Amino acid sequence: MLHATPSRNHAAPPPEEELEPFGGLVRYERHVPIHQVSYYLCGEIQEPQFYTELFYTLRTAAETDLIYLHINSPGGDFNTGLQIINNMLASEAHVITVLEARAYSMAAFIFLSGDELIVHDNCQLMFHTYSSSFAGKGSEQMAEVHALGNWFEKVTTRLCTPFLSAADISHILQGSDLWMDSDEIRRRLGRIKRPPAEPRKSSRKKAET
């Protein structure tokens, strides 16, 4: 029969009275710089070269940065709006869109693309289909209309769902304008179950309207 004997290399545990009492949790702190930047997107959205500083700020921001976009715009250049949105979604910063008066057309898409949405009282959103002009041979114009229509439908569905329902988007694509005030905007935002913000965004996250 084998008997286990204590090894001489292992000291016996100290008597209970010699153990140090538990002193509680210890707090460890780490201070990181937080930069807060605000941009005011007011008036009509112009050509993209006027927004390069905004693009650069979004692209180079750190994950601890806060970038506010205060919006009061009737919309404008679709290509510029998409570039703003794509930079917002690619940014490591927490981007907060603030509706301060109106956000129509492309500006409404930008508002919905924020990581956090703030709505002031007495504001409006408006969604409608794109408008554009075409040149060239008839076949070229028809091809362009078809391609642009499909593109706009995909962009609208991707950026506005679930804030807009499939029926809403269908009506917009058919030419209807969709208006809503602050109360309706808040009601729709309240029913959306937005996932908690992640420490680092994954990759997600024109004609004229």
CA distance 81 to 177: 19
81-134 pLDDT per residue, tens: 999 999 999 999 999 999 999 999 999 999 999 999 999 999 999 999 876 555
In sequence order, the β-bridge partners of residue 124 are 102, 181
Q: Residue ranges of the domains in the chain? A: 34-191
Do β-strands 36-42 and 124-127 pair in parallel, antiparallel, or remain unpaired?
unpaired
Residues 155-172, buried b or exposed e (16+ Cβ, 10 A)? bbeebbeebbeeebbebb
Give, for 184, the enclosing helix (H) or strand (E).
helix 182-191
CA distance 159 to 108: 10
141-191 pLDDT per residue, tens: 677 666 777 888 999 999 999 999 999 999 999 999 999 999 999 999 998
Residue 77: its pLDDT value, please? 94
pTM of the model: 0.76
Q: Who has greater pLDDT, 8 or 38? A: 38
Q: Name the CATH topology of 34-191.
A: 2-enoyl-CoA Hydratase; Chain A, domain 1 (3.90.226)
